[in-house]
């Protein structure tokens, strides 16, 4: 099963890439974590960011594989525990569907991406920088997979 993170932003600090890659490298054959980066839309001076968000949305929608289950990462989304996330991933695996997690840019996700989502998930009630959200998401997914496999990584 592929777990695909589609995230806005391509020029992130090294610690973000290192953190994400560290967790992605821990996944085994049954689950694979992938990252598809989307270039941020051009933001010009004092103009409203709507055009930039729309461009990001078009690119995100194009990056979503057909038939994938789409999750919008939203501050106002549902909070889930690690155990609930593990159950969610198991259900998607039974369905035979890859899961795409969409992380927006500085102003969030395009409305079209949010509308395409079948689930809205919040990593925290806090607003996280989109770069940090990538690393937190990668760890959360790894933890959920370890719960599925009965690995002692998760000791709640």
Q: What distance lies between CA 61 and its chain's CA centroid?
A: 13
Helix axes 14-26, 130-149, angle to 10 degrees: 10
Is residue 128 part of an annotated ligand binding site?
yes
**What does the block give as tokens for 139?**
């760890």
The rounded distance, in Å, linking the Cα atoms of 43 and 39 is: 12
Q: Binding site annotation covers 61?
A: no
35 is in an annotated binding site: no
Question: Per the annotation, does 137 bind a ligand?
Answer: no
Closest to 24 measured CA to CA, from 16, 32, 15? 32
Query: Does 81 appear as a known binding residue?
Result: no
- Rounded distance, CA 21 to CA 136, Å? 12
Binding residues: 104, 123-128
Binding residues for S-adenosyl-L-methionine: 104, 123-128
């Amino acid at each position: 099963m592929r777990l695909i993170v589609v995230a806005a932003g391509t020029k992130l600090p090294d610690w973000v890439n290192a953190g994400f890659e560290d967790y992605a490298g821990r996944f085994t054959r049954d689950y694979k974590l992938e990252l598809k980066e989307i270039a941020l839309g051009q933001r010009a001076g004092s103009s409203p960011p709507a055009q930039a968000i729309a461009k990001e949305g078009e690119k995100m929608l194009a990056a979503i594989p057909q038939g994938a289950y789409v999750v919008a990462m939203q501050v106002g989304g549902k909070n889930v525990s690690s155990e609930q996330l593990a159950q969610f991933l198991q259900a998607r695996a039974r369905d035979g569907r890859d899961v795409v997690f969409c992380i927006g840019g500085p102003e969030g996700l395009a409305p079209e991406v949010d509308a395409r989502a079948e689930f809205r998930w919040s990593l925290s009630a806090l607003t996280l920088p989109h770069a940090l959200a990538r690393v937190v998401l990668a760890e959360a997914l790894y933890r959920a997979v370890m719960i599925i496999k009965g690995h002692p990584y998760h000791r709640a």
